[in-house]
Structures are given as C-alpha cells and as structure tokens.
C-alpha cells in the first residue's frame, strides 16, 4: 500500500529538484531512486514512504516560501519518525535564507 505514497513523493521530488537542476538531472535522480535496492523499504509495511512524502512536501513548500505548510509537513514528518526532528534546523535555515533582509518584518507580518 505504501507504494501508492511513493509515486506522489517522486512527483513532488521532481518538482523540488527542478528548482536547482535541469530536466535531465531531475529525471535521472527519480530514475536512480526508483531502481536503487532500498526502494524495497518504500513498498513494505513500514513508515519510510510516508516519511519520504512528508519530508519532500516540507522542503517543496519551503522552497515555494509557504512556510506554514512547510511547518505542518515538518510536524507530520516528526510524528512519523523521530528522526524527522532533524528537518527543523534545515527548515529554519531555509526560512532565514529566504528572508534574511527583512526577518523582523516577516515574523511580524507573514504573507
């Protein structure tokens, strides 16, 4: 059943990669993820595919500067696995780097 979560994860991961990579590199990354032997864990009855989905959605929302959605996805990632707590520092770093000039204004009046 978790394989159905892997497909949307791959689509969102492709969209996330397109921020920094070209079309070929993004597709190659998805292909390599699909043929790598550890993809077996994404199809099993474990929480790995859900963790991947929430973490990719978190970073995709953060790159689109939708930090409220990114925070919700980071919370869901942390609730899925305890190691999701390590997403929070990178989310804060992304927030700071995207709003470094007006951080106080952004905290007072988020758009």
At 87 the pLDDT is 95
pTM: 0.82
Please write the tens of the pLDDT for every residue from 18-73.
Answer: 999 999 999 999 999 888 887 777 767 678 888 989 999 999 999 999 999 999 99
Closest CA to 63 of 98, 102, 89, 87: 98
* Residue 106, pLDDT above cutoff 80: no
At 17 the pLDDT is 95
């Amino acid at each position: 059943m978790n394989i159905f979560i892997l497909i949307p994860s791959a689509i969102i991961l492709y969209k996330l990669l397109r921020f920094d990579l070209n079309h070929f590199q993004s597709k190659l990354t998805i292909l390599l993820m699909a043929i790598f032997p550890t993809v077996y864990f994404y199809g099993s009855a474990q929480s790995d595919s859900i963790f991947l989905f929430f973490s990719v959605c978190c970073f995709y929302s953060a790159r689109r500067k939708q930090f409220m959605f990114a925070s919700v996805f980071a919370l869901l990632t942390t609730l899925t696995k305890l190691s999701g707590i390590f997403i929070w520092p990178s989310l804060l770093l992304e927030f700071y780097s995207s709003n470094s000039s007006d951080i106080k204004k952004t905290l007072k009046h988020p758009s």
